[in-house]
Chains A and B, each alone.
Chain A
C-alpha cells in the first residue's frame, strides 16, 4: 500500500453501500421505544373516536351534532369515513407533534448522546448524515399517517358498515374507489408534514439538546396554528406551513378540486427547500464539541 494510494482511493465504494446508513437509521428509529410509543398514541386516536361515536349513536341519534372534525357525521353510514375523520383529527396536532419529536431529536439527540462525533468520525459525512436523517423523518411522516389510516380502517370496519360512499359533491363512488381515495388522502396528509419535518431538522442542528430541539419544534407548531387563527394576519397566513393542511378533504370531491392541494404541496416543498438548506448550511459549518 503506497501513500499515494491511500491519498487517492479509499476502498471502492458501491453506491448502494452508502444506503447502508439509511437502512440502519430506519431500523434504529423504528426500534426505539419512543417511536413505538408515538405510533401507539396515533393508533389509539381512531379507536377512541370510533368507540365514542359508536356509544353516542347507540340510541339512534346522529353523531357530532353538526360539530367535530370533517366527515364525522357520515361514519355511522360507512366505516371508511372514520379514516378521513381520524386524519382530520390528528393532522392539526398529534401527527405534527410526533414528527416534531422525531425531527427535533434527529441531530440534537445524537449530539446530546455524543454519538454524533462517532458517526462523523466513522465517517458518515455531514451531508450524507443530514440527508439520511431527513429521509428517515419523511418516512416517519408516511409511517405515522399510515398507522392512523390503517387503525381507523380497522376500527371502522369492525364497528360500522362498509360499502359505497357519497362524496362531498354528492356523487356515489364504489367502496374500492373510496379505498383508493383514502390512500391518496393519507399520502396528502403525509406530504403536509414535510414542512414541519424540515423545520424540526433545522432546529435540531442549532442545539446540542434533543429535548430543547423537540420542545422548540412543537412550540413553533402551536404558535403557527394560533397565528393562523388571527384574522389580522391574513396577509401572512398563506405562508404558514399549516395553512392548507385541511385541503386534503378536496380529494373527496367529484371531480377532485386540485387548487389548494397544489398550493399545499408547493408550500411544503418551499419549507423543505428553505429549512433544508438552512439546516445543511448550519450543520456543515458546525463545530462538533459534544
Chain B
C-alpha cells in the first residue's frame, strides 16, 4: 500500500493465477475425491472456494501445491505446470493448508526461521527481519519467544499465517484461515486479507463460512462431491438466486393486485407484507404505480439474496457433510 505502484503486478488481465483442466484425483481404493475440475482464478481476485466438508477442496489445494499427484488432468499455478514447477512457483506462494502445523518444542520465532530456511529462494541475510515483520503482521510479536506447544489454537493459526507471509507473495492459498479464532481475530484476519489483496496479491480462500466469503471475496467457486458446481464473481453468483421485492403496506390486497399488473410474479401476502419476484422494469415505476393506485406504502425494498441462498439453490441441499 505504501509502495509506489510502478511495479504494480498485472491485475485481471492475461493469464489466470490458477487454471486447472479436467483435474481429477482418484485415491488408491477407488475413492474419487476430485472429478474433472475446471477452475479459473483470475489474477488480483480474492477467490472464495466453497463446499461442504469432504467435497474435495483440500485435495484440490494439495494438488495445486504439488503435494499430491493428479490422477489425470492438468493444473497451472502462476502460469506454470504443477507439480512439475514447484521450485519456480512455490516461493511466490504462501499457503495455509488444513490448519497450522508447528514444532511444539521450538519457539514461534524459530518455527518461522525453520520454514524460511526451507525455502532456497529466501535470503538468509534478511531472514530475522522478515520473520519479525511477519510476526508483527499477525500480532504475535509479544509471544514470539514462547514455545509453540504453549500457543492457543488461535495463536497457532496466526503463526501459520505468518509463515505464509514471510515473503511478498503473488498468491496466498488460505485453507480455513479463521478457524479457531475469536470474533476479534476473525475481523483482523479479514482486514489483513483485504490489505494483502489491495497490494495486488491474489488470495485463494477456502472456507465453509458463507458470510466470510461474501464479506471478503470478489470471486467464488462452489464444490460438492468432488465436482465444481459453479464459479464466477460473487455478485453474479448471488444474483443467480434473485432477491425478492418486499412491500410493506396496510392495504395488502390492493397492493398485490397492482403488483401483479406491474409484472411481479410469485406474489405472497403475509399480514402487511407483500413479496414477489421483481420484474425486469424499473422498480421506481412499480412504486409510482402503487402510489397512483392509492396504496399506502410504508416500505418498498428488494431483499438481496445472500450467497447462502445461492448455495442452497445450487446444491439443492443444506450445508451437510457429503457422504
Closest residue of chain B to A112 (Cβ to Cβ) is B101
Q: How many residues of A contact B (CB 8 A)?
A: 36
From B27, B117, B170, give the contact of A21 (CB < 8 A).
B117
From B66, B79, B116, give the contact of A6 (CB < 8 A).
B79
From A6, A114, A287, give the contact of B92 (CB < 8 A).
A6
In A111-159, which residues have CB < 8 Å from any B CB?
A: 113-115, 117-125, 128-129
Q: Is B90 an interface residue (CB 8 A)?
A: yes
Binary flags per residue of A80-123, CB closer than 8 Å to B gives 1, else 0 = 00000000000000000000000000000000011101111111
Q: Is A61 an interface residue (CB 8 A)?
A: no
From B66, B69, B92, B115, give the contact of A119 (CB < 8 A).
B115
From B65, B118, B121, B124, give the contact of A10 (CB < 8 A).
B121
Contact: A17 with B68, CB < 8 Å?
Answer: no
Question: Separation in Å of the A33 CB from the closest CB of chain B?
Answer: 7
New A-B contacts (18) at CB < 8 Å, excluding given A11-B123, A287-B68 = A6-B92, A6-B170, A7-B78, A10-B92, A17-B120, A17-B124, A21-B118, A21-B120, A113-B103, A113-B104, A114-B98, A115-B102, A118-B101, A120-B65, A123-B86, A123-B87, A285-B69, A288-B62
Q: How far is it, in angstroms, between the C-alpha of A90 and the C-alpha of B63 when the chains are bound?
A: 46
Stretch from A23-31, A161-169, A171-179, A238-246 contacting the other chain: A23-31
Tally the A-B contacts, defined by beta carbons under 8 Å.
Answer: 118
> A interface, by DSSP: helix, strand, loop or mixed?
helix
Binary flags per residue of B159-183, CB closer than 8 Å to A gives 1, else 0 = 0000100000010000000000000
Q: Is B15 an interface residue (CB 8 A)?
A: yes
Closest residue of chain B to A16 (Cβ to Cβ) is B124
**A residues near B113, Cβ cutoff 8 Å:** 24
Q: Is B95 an interface residue (CB 8 A)?
A: yes
Q: Is A13 an interface residue (CB 8 A)?
A: yes
In B9-54, which residues have CB < 8 Å from any A CB?
A: 9-10, 14-15, 27
A interface residues with partner B (beta carbon < 8 Å): 1, 3, 6-8, 10-11, 13, 17-18, 20-21, 23-24, 28, 31-33, 113-115, 117-125, 128-129, 285, 287-289
Contact: B123 with A123, CB < 8 Å?
Answer: no
Question: Separation in Å of the B32 CB from the closest CB of chain A?
Answer: 15
Contact: A288 with B67, CB < 8 Å?
Answer: yes
**B residues near A7, Cβ cutoff 8 Å:** 78-80, 88
**B residues near A20, Cβ cutoff 8 Å:** 117, 120, 122, 124
Q: A13-B121, A18-B120, A128-B120 are in contact. Are A121 and B95 (CB under 8 A)?
A: yes
Q: How far is it, in angstroms, between the C-alpha of A63 and the C-alpha of B42 when the chains are bound?
A: 79
* 12 residue pairs bridging A and B, Cβ less than 8 Å apart: A3-B14, A7-B78, A21-B117, A24-B114, A33-B105, A117-B97, A119-B118, A121-B97, A123-B66, A125-B87, A287-B68, A288-B62
